Chain A
């Protein structure tokens, strides 16, 4: 037994954990490590990396030109997130209170568009918002406008495109947070004399806050790093961080600066995840389960 036990301890974990961890090491840890290391090096004259340390990449981010793009991106992703929350919370609330049969159907219906191609979903809004598009011709036919409105290639179009792409990611965590609430808590609150609004603000909202934050992270993070929707619906008028990173890597070939910009995306992600974990501990009373 002693020898077999020792063999079991050596071979089995190696067979089970070895391949996956090795794959993650090569295709995740090393690539991220490379990007991280590029942030302190210089770009070569024709692209590539010159391995001489510099802090210049970081000071360049503070340049108003880039700082504006960063702030603008945060603004657009933030508006998208708030809209998703405003639309998603009541929707998730209604779904959670539906009878079981309709609940499943309503949930599938929320997720279904999410499983269709992301580019096609974005493309649909080009068709809708174009100057000759469905929205403009409908408004024209109704006599509400004389000339087509400029809907496409605006910040509004970007927000709508992002909202359309990521709304399901807001509804799902909210749904599971609201669904998990003990309905007797609401009844207890009413029994103790609280009206519906008071109950919502004092009981429902704090207890579903971890779900709210999870949904916000799920919407905000991919919105911030997206470069396809700003390009297709913003038409190049409006640039976001994602576009900058893409351009630094594929066009300007300034990988060190692109890496620093990408690092801001990771930093935002880490900060938000930490806030989310904190809220989960603080408000749900059951640790990291939210």
Chain B
């Protein structure tokens, strides 16, 4: 396994992963009108992008949904994880809590569409927000639960022993101990919500599409160099976010 050719698939993987991204970034600075052929350097398409109201509205909608669902998912998921660790060993409940994270998104999407239509709810940002909370919560609960398995139970007992009631112990001892897990879970829920398309596509109202839905219709109805610019901006944001997350989780870990 030590010979040189053993590394070929390794390099091929990274070439495969990054070549398309590189092409998009380069083409976003293309002066030409077609997204395929090079016509000189220009930042023209970034200007177009900045003045595109559809994209801006989509972005605002996405941020509303992602923020709201992350807050809800973090609170619900954390409480659920702690509750399950303390009060139940039920495999069924455990599976139920992780199910939204492994279920094919399409199945969850049609289920929620069926549910919203059965209760005759109007679709809008609120319906997407509620839907994204379901899987966000599953990810938060899963991450917090792994953290709980390493938790030192005697810390909570020590707090009780020193005169703190159940609520004080939860706020002052349990939560700070779980914080790195909660932060990681929340970041995960936020990123997944920003990126989520299928469930949003089924549960969003026609008037307020999220950014992925806007991108979907752009890509579907024609390729313009403006998408290259948008892609580059989103790539830059994601890459920065991932690096920040890496830093933050390392920071919170060192604070333990």
Direct touching of A and B (C-beta under 8 Å): yes
Chain B residue nearest to A86 in the complex (CB): B9
Chain B residue nearest to A241 in the complex (CB): B106
- A-contacting 9-mer, from B39-47, B86-94, B176-184: B86-94
A65 CB within 8 Å of chain B = no
Q: Which residues of B (181-202) have their CB < 8 Å from a CB of A? A: 191, 195, 197-198, 202
Please determine whether A126 and B97 come into contact, CB atoms closer than 8 angstroms: no
A144 CB within 8 Å of chain B = no
A23 to chain B, nearest CB (A): 6
Please determine whether B107 and A35 come into contact, CB atoms closer than 8 angstroms: yes
Please determine whether A24 and B134 come into contact, CB atoms closer than 8 angstroms: yes
A28–B131 CA distance with the chains assembled, in angstroms: 9
**Set of chain A residues within 8 Å of B118, measured between Cβ atoms:** 34
A63–B8 CA distance with the chains assembled, in angstroms: 45
Mark A1-32 against chain B: 1 for CB-CB distance below 8 A, else 0. 00000001000110111011101100111111
B163 CB within 8 Å of chain A = no
Please determine whether B83 and A27 come into contact, CB atoms closer than 8 angstroms: no
Number of interface residues of B (CB under 8 A): 81
Please determine whether A112 and B242 come into contact, CB atoms closer than 8 angstroms: yes
B77 CB within 8 Å of chain A = yes
Please determine whether A127 and B86 come into contact, CB atoms closer than 8 angstroms: no
Please determine whether A228 and B198 come into contact, CB atoms closer than 8 angstroms: yes
**Set of chain A residues within 8 Å of B166, measured between Cβ atoms:** 8, 12
**Set of chain A residues within 8 Å of B228, measured between Cβ atoms:** 127
**Set of chain A residues within 8 Å of B20, measured between Cβ atoms:** 121, 124-125, 127-128, 164
Q: Which residues of A (206-265) have their CB < 8 Å from a CB of B? A: 221-222, 224-228, 231-232, 242, 245-246, 249-250, 255, 258-259, 262, 265
Known contacts: A16-B83, A17-B83. The answer to whether A123 contacts B106 by CB under 8 A is no
Please determine whether B241 and A95 come into contact, CB atoms closer than 8 angstroms: no
**Set of chain A residues within 8 Å of B1, measured between Cβ atoms:** 93, 196, 200
A84–B134 CA distance with the chains assembled, in angstroms: 29
Chain A residue nearest to B234 in the complex (CB): A117
Q: Which residues of B (65-90) have their CB < 8 Å from a CB of A? A: 75-77, 79-80, 82-84, 86-88
Chain B residue nearest to A273 in the complex (CB): B102
B246 to chain A, nearest CB (A): 7
A38–B115 CA distance with the chains assembled, in angstroms: 11
A90 CB within 8 Å of chain B = yes
Identify which of A21, A27, A87 contacts B112 (C-beta below 8 A): A27
A224–B104 CA distance with the chains assembled, in angstroms: 9
**Set of chain B residues within 8 Å of A258, measured between Cβ atoms:** 110
**Set of chain A residues within 8 Å of B83, measured between Cβ atoms:** 13, 15-17, 20
Please determine whether A32 and B242 come into contact, CB atoms closer than 8 angstroms: no
Q: Which residues of B (131-159) have their CB < 8 Å from a CB of A? A: 131, 133-134, 137, 141
Q: Which residues of B (95-112) have their CB < 8 Å from a CB of A? A: 96-97, 99-100, 102-108, 110-112
Q: Which residues of A (174-199) have their CB < 8 Å from a CB of B? A: 196
Identify which of B99, B102, B106 contacts A265 (C-beta below 8 A): B106
Please determine whether A269 and B104 come into contact, CB atoms closer than 8 angstroms: yes
Chain A residue nearest to B35 in the complex (CB): A127
On B, residues with C-beta under 8 Å from A are 1, 6-10, 12-14, 16-21, 23-24, 27, 34-37, 75-77, 79-80, 82-84, 86-88, 93, 96-97, 99-100, 102-108, 110-115, 118, 130-131, 133-134, 137, 141, 166, 191, 195, 197-198, 202, 212, 215-216, 219-220, 223, 227-228, 230-231, 234-235, 238-239, 241-242, 246
6 smallest CB-CB distances across A and B, nearest first, come from A16-B83, A20-B80, A31-B111, A124-B20, A17-B83, A225-B104
Contacts A32-B107, A127-B223 supplied; 4 other A-B pairs, CB < 8 Å: A110-B13, A118-B197, A119-B216, A222-B104
